[in-house]
Chain A
Amino acid sequence: DTEVTQTPKHLVMGMTNKKSLKCEQHMGHRAMYWYKQKAKKPPELMFVYSYEKLSINESVPSRFSPECPNSSLLNLHLHALQPEDSALYLCASSQAGFRNGYTFGSGTRLTVV
């Protein structure tokens, strides 16, 4: 298995809702990442997990809450989002360490209404 699987593919949520994005990989990668991509912009790093521990938080608002319950799963819990949070949310994984390439999932298209 050489894929990163993200669910759901599309999500529409209200500003008072709570929802979660899910990311799964079975490549034995021990580093996992969340990126946010606005239209016609490059992906921007949000969080980095290394060996199931949060190692980098790029000053992301607390309405985004990441979780890494095991080495194969990465979740992003969403609460009280704003319309400007609408974007494509991308998950990636890699072998631990800085010299390894990333494998990306197909993303979750999030719309906040």
Chain B
Amino acid sequence: KQEVTQIPAALSVPEGENLVLNCSFTDSAIYNLQWFRQDPGKGLTSLLLIQSSQREQTSGRLNASLDKSSGRSTLYIAASQPGDSATYLCAVSLIRGMRFGAGTRLTVKP
């Protein structure tokens, strides 16, 4: 069974720092990997989608990489802002639907 792990579980940084969130998965037979943001009690907002054949995707201050062979993805956030505070979830697409990691809860302090 596919296991998706996110490290760290929680992260607190001062405003302006660059940071990296990690995601690992046990089975490399994925179709794609998607990063989401979730604010408390809210739904999921898609940040970046990386196809299994791609190495990275960028959107604004966000950059996500994928190393399918080693079962790893990273989400890089540049120049963090208090508004970036949220839980960040990675999810891998399988035949039986998308499976999620437990998320990294990010707090950016002013």
User: Does B65 have its Cβ within 8 Å of any Cβ on chain A?
Assistant: no
A-side contacts of B45, CB under 8 Å: 104
Q: Are B36 and A42 in contact (CB under 8 A)?
A: no
Q: Of all chain B residues, which has the CB nearest A104?
A: B44
Number of interface residues of B (CB under 8 A): 27
**B81 interface residue, CB < 8 Å from A?**
no
Determine the main DSSP class of B at the interface with A. strand
Q: Which bracket fits the contact residues of A?
A: 20 to 34
Q: How far is the CA of A45 from the CA of B93 in the complex (A)?
A: 12
A44-82, CB under 8 A of B: which get 1 and which 0?
Answer: 110010000000101000000000000000000000000
CB-defined contacts of B94 to chain A, threshold 8 Å? 98
CA distance A21 to B32 in the complex (A): 29
With contacts A98-B94, A99-B93 known, what are 16 further pairs, Cβ within 8 A? A33-B97, A42-B4, A44-B100, A45-B96, A48-B97, A56-B96, A88-B41, A98-B31, A98-B32, A100-B32, A102-B46, A102-B98, A103-B46, A104-B45, A105-B43, A106-B42
A–B complex contacts, Cβ < 8 Å, 6 sampled: A6-B43, A42-B100, A44-B100, A98-B93, A102-B98, A109-B41
